[in-house]
Amino acid sequence: MDLLNSIMSKMDKPPVMTDQEKEKRKKAKEMAKKMEEKHKKATHEFRNKIEKVIEAFVEDSQAHNHTFAPMEKVQRSIVHDVAETAGLVTYSFGEEDVDRHLVIWKKDFQPNEDELTCRRAGQVWDPETYYQQKQEAEQHALKEEIEARKRQKQKVVPKGNYHAKYEHIIGNDTMALQRTELKKSYGMVSSDQKKDRRTVEDIQAELRAKKRMKLDTQSEDSSK
């Protein structure tokens, strides 16, 4: 036991705070408490303010939505909580620490995807202007697609137009017929036309007919 007491006595004891340090720590605690109370008070006042704004919005039958000014995340969470309690629809838009803000809607007039897309793009929602621009953009895109298809179709030569494409090389049937008729009128016959296109049977039949004709002629002469 004496050994333990001896060891403990030799260990470093915590430094003793001076009166000045004690006073400084006391003031720091008091300041932190005051700041906390101030924050709670500001939060309470802000919540009361938002509740009044939302209450007036709900009672206004002509109002469909309400846009709040940009605010910090903590404040937005308060607005969202109050609006949700009142049965409203809320969305946040804009860039954090720049222009992030909340918009609330009554459930009967909550936004569609087109409005949300417009607001997320940082644009002011105007249904007439938005849908007009959207229609113009769709028409422009359709026109571009049609033009692209036409250009693609022109690159591909259909099988039916093969003869027309190479007409200057293989010739034209009508032109060939005209040239043939012209040659005939001048007594010109092509080598193909000069060829004997009769079959062997045709030639033999023709020879037999000529032979019978000759025999008949001779028979008539002898009978005279």
CATH number for the domain harbouring residue 91:
3.30.1370.50
pLDDT, tens only, 93-103: 999 999 999 99
Residues 174 and 116 in one domain: no
Distance CA 145, CA 186 (A): 57
Say if 116 falls within a structural domain: yes
Distance CA 164, CA 67 (A): 67
Say if 106 falls within a structural domain: yes
pLDDT, tens only, 33-86: 999 999 999 999 999 999 999 999 999 999 999 999 999 999 999 999 999 999
Average pLDDT over residues 183-196: 53
Say if 21 falls within a structural domain: no
pTM here is 0.53
Say if 134 falls within a structural domain: no
Examine the fold and report which residue of 125, 146, 176 is the final residue of a domain before the chain moves on.
125
Domain extent, residue 169, equals 157-187
Exposed/middle/buried for 53, CB within 10 Å: 0-12, 13-18, 19+? middle
The number of folded domains in the chain is 2
Averaged pLDDT score across all residues of the chain: 80
Distance CA 106, CA 108 (A): 5
Say if 67 falls within a structural domain: yes
Residues 120 and 183 in one domain: no
Residues 110 and 177 in one domain: no
User: Could you give the angle at the alpha carbon of 68 between the alpha carbons of 67 and 71, nearest 5°?
Assistant: 145
Say if 77 falls within a structural domain: yes
